[in-house]
Structure 1
């Protein structure tokens, strides 16, 4: 008995106290911080930092750990200084400061992306200048630039053809770059796609095209997700799916990570084993697989991190591994030496944090779950460890924490590997024999449908994500507290299951006592940086005025209000932060009519659309909206869309609401000159409370209550202090969605009251 007990304890000891080689961890963490700081400094300052590190190594030469750390950090700092000096020494940077016109040949480094530009879509390209001339001279290999292509130049070329490895000839005006990694920003007036592309990039693009072709016959969501899983191609991911994945903690599936590479390497080595390839050739096959993976997935931060870890793992095949922490440290140090700007990359931060969490926390978490079957314990421990480790980064990036992430990853996880393998195989087969590739693509799409369903359901839950109220750095304290709580709870089945069930109830129907108020008239939904207003039309019907940027927030707001039918969907103007979330209004609801202003709006299939202007009346249920602006329903689309916003007046029980869209001072003054009655009791402040307000217009409203719809911590500074001062001069009390969440307006005995959900 004594012998048996001794063996059991010995067997469990590695799981209970895993031994990690932490000697390189201080160097990796310090180098990360130094690199992130140095890329914001000049090359001279960074060179001094490198010298200080080397001096420290000499002074404390008797402490090997300090010496190694100082030398490695100094090497990263020296590499950063050299790269910064190359940027600072580029003549194109001086051209940018002078704003000269540049003719350049640029090799594309990141696949082109589209963006919303005045007059239509624009294209943004990141690449390296191979040759450039201006009135100030000529230069070759001048550094990294970002190209913004809009207007006629953007319509003359397809963004899908502007892929990595191709070269373009541009004529552009140079402007200073905000990123120290780049020598200039080029605003392109003329672009020509040059022939020829290196064969390795051409092959990688063929594979990517094959993956897309293999699932081209599938519905949008799986058709978009399979390429994202296989090679990180997220160009077709719809906004609503991206939002659901973010809330459900599945966003990592839309960025290539170590999981993707692990699946690829496992598949390659499995085939090698079946084919009888000797073990000594496995490392070579794995290296080739890593190289091919980078070419197909593109050399972006998460891909490079995954590739670096893969190469470390390949070395371990032959010479053994000193531990996961050591492998991760080597990868971080190598990547920062090559590209120190990765230190500030969100993808890099999340990838490293997740890997560190899995390496350090997943084994002990799984051991604490020994009351479960081993496969369940591991399946729970891995996403749980990654989520805990990534919490500070997620809070800093999004201001939210996903509550359902662990469960969503647990349910979706089994489908990821088969979908990825089938998608990659389908892409390769599609290049040779399209029907066979399409069959494999169908198999991949089955897994993708399951993952999409999990993301939709989990992301659509009311309590799927919770906002972080305090500064992000407080979340750093949450990690050790969470680890301690989980360490205690996971060993106790009754407690663990009870907590999970309680969380499930809260996530499914989070408590909102008193919301919505029974007599609500209008609710300003918290849709982030945008507008989303809902007016009660009686009998479970509502009128929705604007929808915000994403479908999820307006959908959840309507669910909270019990809205079953939308009598009218009114879009004040065509800016994305007012109309892009329209699909959320249609989720499980009938929409009777769509009304837009002269600037138009998105095409909502199967629903009649009317264009409104001053003098029109929108009647829906018990709601009557008078249109005060704009005066011309055929206003030219070239005009400012903000000033073409519909301005609406609503009256309920003698209380007037003035809903102003995004009109700015020019339109505000014109509206006053038109003689329209703009007096109101409740004012929806124009343009999210921006500083662009006409004082006379705001004072003419005489409003007692002001509603401000803006996103938490938005980069526009909305609402502006000057606008809040103006409202104080007016004597209006104001409420803000960015601070108080949904705002409900009720009218009781002829008086206005505002209630908040938060």
Structure 2
């Protein structure tokens, strides 16, 4: 077999995996009837080809893989979307029933109070006079009294069902009251929970940073990390260390294999050890989709480490992608899955030639250490830019600097955790070097993120991403030759260091001609309307006073003649002290519905301390401040009997006119109040739409399409708990001809009117992002 034939054979499985991935994306994005027709056509084509005796080949493999994954996706969509729970959720029915906990509870900051959420399987539901047994995936939202529920526990609950934004979930369970535990986890999971607790006990006496990072490295639990540390990891390109990844599995299973060889285990015994190690890893890090994905990708990496590793690894990668999509087609839409596959593919395809090139003038182990993170980083760069709006210039260097410490921190953290179950002092002694290594990793992340040009802002639009992808492809094809030359490699590295260390001039902020800025305040709204002369009207204040204060500082706002609070949820009012910090505030206007009461009290308390009056807006009133003129278009009514969230539907709506541009400023209105707005407002047109409720799925399609807006701005948090903005809303805005700007991808978003009256946008991506969070409402 020739080298060319071998190469084609090596790539056949990855190509089939890519075709299957595309089929899953198409099937998940189309109505079930269309997907069914496509699936039938594919099956017919296979049957015709076989009946005619035509030879089977790669194209048939593509067709079979695509048809199989599309069929799986169709079955998943139908099975989730047609359950009794889905229908009860559409009705907002009060129910009680039983469920099985499928993930650990995660605590979030709610609009009224802290809450927990987790995934579960709904086993029985009773509502609207009917009792049904079923198995439907749901997300449970409950008060913090549910924080202690354990994975694989069987619970009885009471509450109501609500529609979920994501199509892979049948319903959202909003629990009321405490759970009734019907059964706990089995002996195996109980033992795993003891080991997880032992890992934390092993580093309990260490400084806060290492104490939180070691468990994150071992089992992916990063809940104890501070916001600043997590932000530094993102900027430095080290976020993969904070989540369960194939790297974790490779390190842990690799350690077990070394230990097995030392114990004279050989041949098939090593295979058994490897398989048991993968199973143990999955149990330790929880049997969630992200963990299973990491386990499979880590196993592919282990295959690639063996004899003929590149050929076997690429084939294993293609097969792994196909099998994972067959089991869970929703992975096709997972950013984590895309990053895992891209990184693994980069390591398998680009790593070996780059390692060999560097090995011409570097020791082989050094060449390997440089080539692997470099290949993974280049393969993931376009995806990371699409997600974060920036290209990290320090990621490769930071990954190289921490590479030696990740393994010991992970393995010793696990070993120390196991030993604490026997004798706590011994486990803590073994875990101490793991904490030292974790401390080094944190120091590298902080130093890298603090460099003047740690990351290069990159527009996440399709054209810019296509250009970046072409650049990365060109580097992939030519870098091996460059890396083989010591002078070229060292010269390029030196130039990159200069670029990172010496600040380059950047465009000023705010941009000239700005009329509105949507501040990047996380999951919430914080909007600023320019009055001029260092003054601005602020509409909502986000969930975090510091973030709101810093945004206003960047805009040079020293005086705020008016603050408008659209409604009193925490993601709109908790940041209000930041507006008042060191600024003159003239008046606060609010929604006429003081719900939730805690938010209304906070607003009045902040204003009272500053001696600022508070009044309620009146429907239909008009106001002029400087160049701004607006009319209050909502709330039309103060109550909606069919509302899922009365405070949301009581949000203030403003139609603002400034410099010839009309901006429709929505709060968190849902369908009832949006439909009311559409019916009661004649000739409702705008150039800019501030999208309601962070881009949730609860939009009035006719209202959005009828506006004629050219630009849509969505204020939304990174990786928020609610899936905002909903894909359906993004499709709606695109179909309506609007350009979409999002604070989770673009940072601060400025709406600009230039001297000729032309409308455009400018963005400011922060070098350090706020930690993803879930403040607000589903």
Q: Give TM-score, length-normalised by structure 1.
A: 0.72
> Which is worse superposed, 389-398 or 441-450?
389-398
Matched with 1:83 is 76
Matched with 1:156 is 145
> Which is worse superposed, 247-256 or 17-26?
17-26
For the structure 1 residues 379 and 92, does the alpha-carbon distance in structure 2 shift closer, same or farther, using more than 3 Å as the test? Answer: same
Residue 416 in 1 paired to residue 409 in 2? no
Task: Give distance in 2, aligned partners of 1:182 and 1:559.
Answer: 40
Residue 430 in 1 paired to residue 391 in 2? no
For the structure 1 residues 725 and 128, does the alpha-carbon distance in structure 2 shift closer, same or farther, using more than 3 Å as the test? Answer: closer
Matched with 2:325 is 336
Contact preservation (8 Å) 2:304, 2:313: no
For the structure 1 residues 317 and 277, does the alpha-carbon distance in structure 2 shift closer, same or farther, using more than 3 Å as the test? Answer: farther
Contact preservation (8 Å) 1:224, 1:237: yes
Aligned to 2:114, the other structure's residue is in SS state strand
Q: CA deviation at 1:252?
A: 0.8
Q: CA deviation at 1:291?
A: 0.6
Given the alignment, which residue of 270, 294, 302 partners 1:306?
294
Task: Give distance in 2, aligned partners of 1:513 and 1:261.
Answer: 41
Residue 173 in 1 paired to residue 160 in 2? yes
Task: Give distance in 1, aligned partners of 2:551 and 2:707.
Answer: 32
Q: CA offsets per residue over residues 609-645 of structure 1, 9 Å max, x none?
A: xx97xxxxx8x6xxx73554489xxx99725469928
Contact preservation (8 Å) 2:250, 2:301: no
Contact preservation (8 Å) 1:301, 1:345: no
Task: Give distance in 1, aligned partners of 2:506 and 2:184.
Answer: 64
Residue 243 in 1 paired to residue 255 in 2? no
For the structure 1 residues 234 and 554, does the alpha-carbon distance in structure 2 shift closer, same or farther, using more than 3 Å as the test? Answer: farther
For the structure 1 residues 510 and 579, does the alpha-carbon distance in structure 2 shift closer, same or farther, using more than 3 Å as the test? Answer: farther
Task: Give distance in 2, aligned partners of 1:212 and 1:740.
Answer: 35
Alignment of 1:28-43 (within 5 A): 28-43=17-32
Q: CA deviation at 1:506?
A: 2.3
Contact preservation (8 Å) 2:202, 2:424: yes
Contact preservation (8 Å) 1:683, 1:705: no
Matched with 2:41 is 52
> Which is worse superposed, 328-337 or 115-124?
115-124
Matched with 1:590 is none
Matched with 2:315 is 326
Task: Give distance in 2, aligned partners of 1:716 and 1:493.
Answer: 51
Q: CA deviation at 1:486?
A: 2.8
Given the alignment, which residue of 169, 194, 206 partners 1:182?
169
Matched with 1:588 is none
Task: Give distance in 1, aligned partners of 2:749 and 2:82.
Answer: 52
Alignment of 1:488-637 (within 5 A): 488-512=481-505, 527=520, 625-626=584-585, 628-629=587-588
Q: Give TM-score, length-normalised by structure 2.
A: 0.70
Matched with 1:536 is none
Q: CA deviation at 1:515?
A: 5.7
> Which is worse superposed, 187-196 or 30-39?
187-196
Matched with 1:130 is 123
Task: Give distance in 1, aligned partners of 2:479 and 2:690.
Answer: 31
Contact preservation (8 Å) 2:589, 2:617: no
Task: Give distance in 2, aligned partners of 1:386 and 1:501.
Answer: 21
Aligned to 1:174, the other structure's residue is in SS state strand
Q: CA deviation at 1:246?
A: 1.2
Q: CA deviation at 1:243?
A: 1.6
Aligned to 1:453, the other structure's residue is in SS state helix
Contact preservation (8 Å) 2:303, 2:316: no
Matched with 2:731 is none
Task: Give distance in 2, aligned partners of 1:318 and 1:489.
Answer: 27
Alignment of 1:76-475 (within 5 A): 76-149=69-142, 154-157=143-146, 159=147, 161-194=148-181, 195-309=183-297, 322-369=311-358, 370-469=360-459, 470-471=461-462, 472-475=465-468
Q: CA deviation at 1:165?
A: 0.9
Q: CA deviation at 1:133?
A: 1.9
Q: CA offsets per residue over residues 523-567 of structure 1, 9 Å max, x none?
A: 98974656599xxxxxxxxxxx98986989998998999xxxx9x
Q: Which runs of 5+ in 1 are unaligned?
A: 1-12, 518-522, 534-544, 581-595, 602-610, 613-617, 649-659, 727-735, 746-754
Q: CA offsets per residue over residues 14-70 of structure 1, 9 Å max, x none?
A: 99x978711212210011111122234455544443333333333274142122222
Contact preservation (8 Å) 2:101, 2:153: yes
Q: CA deviation at 1:332?
A: 0.8
Contact preservation (8 Å) 1:711, 1:737: no
Aligned to 1:22, the other structure's residue is in SS state helix
Count the aligned residue pairs.
Answer: 648
> Which is worse superposed, 407-416 or 677-686?
677-686
Aligned to 1:171, the other structure's residue is in SS state strand
Task: Give distance in 2, aligned partners of 1:210 and 1:717.
Answer: 42
Task: Give distance in 1, aligned partners of 2:270 and 2:138.
Answer: 39
Contact preservation (8 Å) 1:528, 1:711: no
Task: Give distance in 2, aligned partners of 1:737 and 1:401.
Answer: 18
Task: Give distance in 2, aligned partners of 1:284 and 1:723.
Answer: 63
For the structure 1 residues 510 and 105, does the alpha-carbon distance in structure 2 shift closer, same or farther, using more than 3 Å as the test? Answer: same
Matched with 2:681 is none
For the structure 1 residues 284 and 352, does the alpha-carbon distance in structure 2 shift closer, same or farther, using more than 3 Å as the test? Answer: same
Contact preservation (8 Å) 1:462, 1:510: yes
Q: CA offsets per residue over residues 660-687 of structure 1, 9 Å max, x none?
A: 99x9xx74559x99xxx9855799999x
Task: Give distance in 1, aligned partners of 2:231 and 2:350.
Answer: 28
Q: CA deviation at 1:314?
A: 7.6
Contact preservation (8 Å) 2:541, 2:548: no
Matched with 2:685 is none
Q: Which runs of 5+ in 2 are unaligned?
A: 511-515, 529-539, 633-647, 666-687, 697-703, 712-740, 753-761, 766-778
For the structure 1 residues 179 and 744, does the alpha-carbon distance in structure 2 shift closer, same or farther, using more than 3 Å as the test? Answer: closer
Contact preservation (8 Å) 2:111, 2:571: no
Matched with 1:584 is none
Q: CA deviation at 1:75?
A: 2.4
Q: CA deviation at 1:414?
A: 1.1
Between structure 1 and structure 2, the one with the greater Rg is 1
For the structure 1 residues 190 and 559, does the alpha-carbon distance in structure 2 shift closer, same or farther, using more than 3 Å as the test? Answer: closer
Matched with 2:718 is none
For the structure 1 residues 516 and 353, does the alpha-carbon distance in structure 2 shift closer, same or farther, using more than 3 Å as the test? Answer: closer
> Which is worse superposed, 57-66 or 310-319?
310-319
Task: Give distance in 2, aligned partners of 1:551 and 1:725.
Answer: 32
Matched with 1:539 is none
Q: CA deviation at 1:311?
A: 5.2
Contact preservation (8 Å) 2:123, 2:135: yes
Aligned to 2:99, the other structure's residue is in SS state strand
Contact preservation (8 Å) 2:569, 2:596: no
Q: Which has the higher contact order (CA 8 A, sep 6+)?
A: 2
Contact preservation (8 Å) 2:405, 2:437: yes
For the structure 1 residues 412 and 546, does the alpha-carbon distance in structure 2 shift closer, same or farther, using more than 3 Å as the test? Answer: farther
Task: Give distance in 2, aligned partners of 1:73 and 1:352.
Answer: 18
Task: Give distance in 1, aligned partners of 2:138 and 2:571.
Answer: 29
Contact preservation (8 Å) 1:572, 1:578: no
Q: CA deviation at 1:410?
A: 0.7
Task: Give distance in 1, aligned partners of 2:232 and 2:38.
Answer: 43
